[in-house]
Amino acid sequence: MKIAVLPGDGIGPEVTREAVRVIEALDLGIAMEEALVGGAAYKATGHPLPPETLALAQGCDAILFGAVGDPDCDALERHLRPEQAILGLRKELTLFANLRPARVFPGLENHSALRPEVAGAINLLIVRELNGDVYFGEKGFRTTATGEREGYDIMSYSESEVRRIAHVAFQAAQGRAKRLCSVDKANVLETSQLWRDVVIEVSKDYPDVTLEHMYVDNAAMQLVRAPGKFDVVVTGNLFGDILSDQASMCVGSIGLLASASLGERQTDFGTFGLYEPIHGSAPDIAGQGLANPMATILSAAMLLRHSLGLGEAADRIEAAVAKTLSAGVLGRDLGGSAGTAEIGDAVLANL
């Protein structure tokens, strides 16, 4: 069993270090190899996703990813920017299904941006499509007939892309409360109309799952009004990106939300995948030991469960995180004062 560890930029290395310590403490016989990615890789090699990093990722059973993004790189041509590394990994490795669970940990109800009784009911899973949409369509700058500069990004989904993510979402719902909400903007976008039509077609295979459709603007509102009503939410790349950051604050902090990015490739132990917190490199707090590593530690738990078939070890990590949080070991993002390493130490002590 081998994991590629790609810490990346900003707080990426800080939070990844804690997740690696947790995996090591479990003594599961997992080999780990680190490589450069993002701005760190660009600065060292001239490319945000060097071929050797991609090759390492391809050769492992799973990838633990920190975060990429560096303000020093924001003026680079787009293909050289740090963010291209995570987009490239998702696309090159065909990791099309991004699972972003959000639930309130017992004792944290008062730390949500919502009222405790509203927050306490949250237990949802966002299934975000990760290989298509406006992210990967043709894009560029051009000049209009009147001589104005114009930027454009083409949004599209093919039916096979929608079908495969819909199957993932219906199957996830079958393993949960059997409710699926498909989020789109079919009242305006043809991409979304096709999305909706295909999701309805796929629903015929899953008569035990209750399907509803919701426009994304309403979904953003309902996530704050009554987030406890959602079970599984399936949506496209852009809407899923935005709604998952929103869901994180309903839960309490973006420093708590983990993710798994999966495709169809199977390893000897499970499904090949990339695991990362949903947050970014947080340049505003990088290098200060203030980042909350819980999202990355929980991502490591998802890695053990989905890619390495180590469900019991994953349960242990999740229980240790819950115990640490309910004991009040909270980072600044949750109104506490614990630093990154202190939170890691507490999780290790609670394993």
Ligand X SMILES: CC(C)[C@H](C(=O)O)[C@@H](O)C(=O)O
Catalytic residues: 135, 185, 217, 241, 245
Q: Strands, DSSP E only, in the chain?
A: 2-8, 31-34, 62-67, 97-103, 123-129, 139-143, 149-153, 179-184, 210-215, 232-235, 258-266, 271-277
- Report the candidate in 107, 167, 161 with the shortest Cα–Cα distance to residue 135: 161
d(CA 153, CA 134): 6
- Name the percent of the chain in helix, strand, coil, to the closest 5: 45, 20, 35
281 scored as a contact of ligand NAD (CB under 6 A) = yes
Q: Does 241 show up as a binding residue in the annotation?
A: yes
Number of residues that bind ligand X (CB under 6 A): 6
Q: Does 69 show up as a binding residue in the annotation?
A: no
Q: Pick from 73, 87, 180, 321 the residue near ligand X by CB under 6 A.
A: 87
CA angle 287, 290, 296 (to 5 degrees): 95
Closer of 61 and 241 to ligand X (Cβ): 241
Contact segment (CB under 6 A) with ligand NAD among 20-28, 202-210, 278-286, 318-326 equals 278-286
Closer of 70 and 241 to Mg ion (Cβ): 241
Q: Does 38 show up as a binding residue in the annotation?
A: no
The least distance separating ligand NAD from the CB of residue 340, rounded to whole angstroms, comes to 8
Q: Binding marks (x or -) toward ligand NAD, 246..275, rule CB under 6 A?
A: --------xx--------------------
Q: Pick from 65, 241, 243, 316 the residue near ligand X by CB under 6 A.
A: 241
Using the structure block, give the residue that is written with the tokens 């975000």. Answer: 128
The residue type of 86 is I
Closer of 83 and 333 to ligand X (Cβ): 83
d(CA 40, CA 50): 11
Closer of 161 and 241 to Mg ion (Cβ): 241
> Over the Cα atoms of the chain, what is R_g?
20
User: Which phi and psi (to 5°) does residue 186 adopt?
Assistant: -70, -15
Residues 239-298 that bind Mg ion (CB under 5 A): 241
Q: Does 225 show up as a binding residue in the annotation?
A: no
14 scored as a contact of ligand NAD (CB under 6 A) = no
d(CA 328, CA 323): 9
Indicate the Cα dihedral angle 81, 83, 86, 88, nearest 10°: -50
Interacting residue ranges for ligand NAD, rule: CB under 6 A: 11, 15, 67-69, 83, 86, 254-255, 276, 279-285, 291-292, 295, 331, 333
Task: Indicate the annotated binding residues for NAD(+).
Answer: 280-292
Task: Indicate the annotated binding residues.
Answer: 90, 100, 128, 217, 241, 245, 280-292
Task: Indicate the annotated binding residues for Mg(2+).
Answer: 217, 241, 245
Interacting residue ranges for ligand X, rule: CB under 6 A: 83, 86-87, 241, 278, 280
